[in-house]
Amino acid sequence: MKKGLSETSNVLVVILLLALGPHAGARAQTSAPSEHDAEILGVRVGMDVPTTLQAVFVNAKRKPGEERPDAKRNEGKDVRVLYKKLPQGELQIVFAEGKWVKEVVLNYSAPPTYEDLRLAPTSSMGGAGTSDTAVGSLVLGKKYDDRYEIGYTSDRKLERFWWRDDPAPDGYRVRVGFISEKLAGNGQLAAKTIARKLVGVTPGDEEKFKRAMGSH
């Protein structure tokens, strides 16, 4: 994370300690979810701060004294927190207005391949903003997940991006996405490993999300 990040405030720690009780492990999610679920380490879009910190503490198997994130940064009204050395990788969480999760990103410590995740390969992506729908194609006898569209993260075409948008009960959509390692400089689709997973409010639905959170 950039230099601008600073240690999280004691307020976050107090909130977490109040949320954690002797049976905290029983309350937080401990079962192994699918990597395609709209969550990362039990953290989902719309969670409040105490629930989020508790989920990370339990599901990342943090130890006493590791209740707080490693750093935080204010981004306008939003707050981004960082966990640097989790077994699963580096985790970033953005709280809209410092209150509700609107984005979670995990940089994998042990990157899976797109085949591990049953993400379809493609050879006909035109550029940023364009996509191919992976319609459950069979390649070498393997059926791929047909929920994802495929494109790039930018017009430089250096990272492949698989994403889907799921409707939430409150009217906004939640995006689940996987981003590849950077592609080879010659433009060939050489990167087979997935660098990071993201779960967040679908771009364009931010106001719907804020209205939904404010009505709770």
Query: Could you write out the DSSP letters of every residue in 154-193?
Result: STT--SEEEEEEEEPTTS-EEEEEEEEPPPPTTS-----B
pLDDT of residue 184: 67
What are 172-186's pLDDT values in tens digits?
Answer: 999 999 999 987 655
pLDDT at 134 over 70: no
User: How is the chain split into domains, by residue range?
Assistant: 10-108, 132-214
Q: What is d(CA 68, CA 53) in angstroms, rounded to the nearest whole number?
A: 8
Eight-class DSSP state of 120: P
**How many other CB atoms are there within 10 angstroms of residue 16's CB atom?**
22
Maximum separation of any 2 CA atoms in the chain, in Å: 55
Question: Nearest CA to 78 among 95, 103, 100, 101?
Answer: 95
Q: What is d(CA 66, CA 13) in angstroms, rounded to the nearest whole number?
A: 10
**How many other CB atoms are there within 10 angstroms of residue 99's CB atom?**
16
- Residue 47: exposure state from Cβ atoms within 10 A (0-12, 13-18, ≥19): buried
pLDDT of residue 4: 47
For residue 205, give both structure tokens.
Answer: 């639905």
pLDDT of residue 132: 45
- Establish how many alpha carbons lie within 13 A of residue 211's alpha carbon, considering only the half-sphere containing its beta carbon: 8
Which is higher by pLDDT, 19 or 175?
175
Which one-letter amino acid corresponds to residue 188? Q
Alpha helices by DSSP H, the chain = 10-19, 24-27, 49-59, 206-214
What are 22-40's pLDDT values in tens digits?
Answer: 333 333 444 457 999 999 9
pLDDT at 123 over 80: no
**Beta 78-86 vs 89-96: how paired, if at all?**
antiparallel
Task: Quote the Cα angle for 66-69-75, to 5°.
Answer: 170
- pLDDT category, 15, cuts 50, 70, 90? very low
**Beta 100-108 vs 78-86: how paired, if at all?**
unpaired
pLDDT of residue 25: 36
**Site of tokens 């910190």:** 53
pLDDT of residue 216: 78
The structure's pTM equals 0.77
Q: What is the mean pLDDT of the chain?
A: 81
